[in-house]
Structure 1
């Protein structure tokens, strides 16, 4: 094997790392983008996001000659039905996310996405009947305690964080049950949602007398059109990066986005952390540290189990 052949996997991993990091950094700064559309109600923004995602993701796949994959998906009712369910889950996630940004609750967004991996593990336990290690049980118990403390101390259930964590974990679970690519799957979901989004915009415009096209405000309209791009572009980067990286690294990178969101909330938008909220974030970080250490250990043990032992040399 030549040096060039040996270097190829390392180069692929470096490219994957750059693409993956870019995707998570863009997702981290996504609240800043949706500050541009705060003049529009969150439900209307979501309807625009769905419709413009059809345009953006459709253009991306058309340029790559992959529209046929979407047509093939739509011709299979069972797969289309599962994607309809995942589309419902992601639309709830988008709505809560954009509402939270408009209400200056970015810290709640960050908390929700920090908790998301642990909720995914809980779904695996309940739905897939998976067995958890002792460390995973401890991590989930700490996270549950953190949510409870925040709810009692703040006098209300942290519904934004919980809704984001559970809707995205549900989306992830549903997408794992469907063997379709990330971009074709997203376009199919957006296509399935688009009739409802268009109908909602018409109803909202008629019932409130609002011009939901926003043609009278070109900058706002441009920001709404851009919601399709900020949906499609990071996903394309992530899909390309994930193919080149081990799942362990991808799992670790998912903490980048909520970390950026937390910093944005505190240092850019001036949201108050408070002692209780800081304590609950600290508990979530402890649970994630336990969860991550356990995941890395299990991954290392699995690699060792797959590696054949060298045969003993004759003396």
Structure 2
């Protein structure tokens, strides 16, 4: 999980090296090389069958296409944010994503906010308002990144297929658009792939750079609690934030300090509440299992000693 979030968190360094290539073209190459990498992985694992099954139902294809458009939007604005010097705002987007996900749960599933969650969401909203008033413009990139990723997660809830297969299906559906974008770039004489060996290799790296952390994430979520997953995931925006401020030298003024302080306070409240809920759930599960074992033992004793 740490390895996964470290790759995600340091990815701005990679996309900064491609800042001279239009973001839509970078996104197109990311889509195609991800498809190549995922296809190889599934072929080696002998799991091409589930991929064909996922694309055999018109309903599944529609859901996967909506998810693909949501994640493509997220990828595009993340690449754009790094290229135009807005990586700080991108990190803000991934900081507030868990709280946006809570709001989506309220709207989509009628979930109720407990006191801690309500306070955390209120602080996040206040942070966005402070940043908007202080800078004179809303943090649109942060909002687009958090909402698009939240909607992506919402759509994926209705799919029963695994994450690697679903993402492979998503980039497969996006690949015709990616091919058109790259073809148009070549036709206009400024296609990046093939223009230089360095750029070509960097663009090819986008495939494993996209696929590897997702595979690590899928592996990790099966082995650690969701509360732990939620906490470790904050490593991603924290590393993005460090890249933006320390390495890229992006401005971080007083309004950013106030807004980020509010977000970090909100996440601390939210995380503590999540940990308590997870601990209470585990205690209840252990108690239930102990009671079940005790009941089974008592029945066994009673049957052995009529």
Count of residue pairs the alignment pairs up: 291
Matched, 1:25 2:6: yes
Aligned match of 1:183 in 164, 170, 187?
A: 164
Indicate which of 210, 214, 229 corresponds to 1:250.
Answer: 229
Per the TM alignment, residue 214 of structure 1 is displaced from its structure 2 partner at its CA by 2.5
Of 275, 279, 282, which aligns to 1:303?
282
- Structure 1 or 2, whichever has the larger Rg, is 2
CA-atom RMSD in angstroms: 1.5
Tell me the SS of whatever aligns to 1:47.
helix
Partners of 2:147 and 2:212 in 1: CA distance: 24
Where in structure 2 are the equivalents of 1:1-315 lying within 5 Å?
Answer: 20-206=1-187, 209-212=188-191, 214-306=193-285, 307-308=287-288
Structure 2 unmatched ranges of 5 or more: 295-306
Comparing 212-221 and 286-295, the one that deviates more:
212-221
Question: Structure 2 length normalisation: TM-score?
Answer: 0.92
Where has structure 1 moved over 4 Å in runs of 4 or more? none
Do the aligned residues in 1 keep the contact of 2:192 with 2:199 (CA within 8 Å)? no
Deviation for aligned residue 1:67: 1.4
**Distance across 2 between alignment mates of 1:304 and 1:213:** 56
3-state DSSP class of the match of 1:97?
Answer: helix
Other-structure match for 2:303? none
Paired residues of 2:192 and 2:200 also in contact (CA < 8 A) = yes
Residue 305 (structure 1) shift = 2.4
- Distance in 2, Cα, partners of 1:148 & 1:173: 25
* Secondary structure, aligned partner of 1:37: coil
Give me the TM-score of the superposition, normalised by structure 1: 0.89
CA contact (8 A) 2:124 2:266 kept: yes
Bigger shift: 58-67 or 87-96? 58-67
Consecutive unaligned residues in structure 1, runs of 5 or more: 1-19
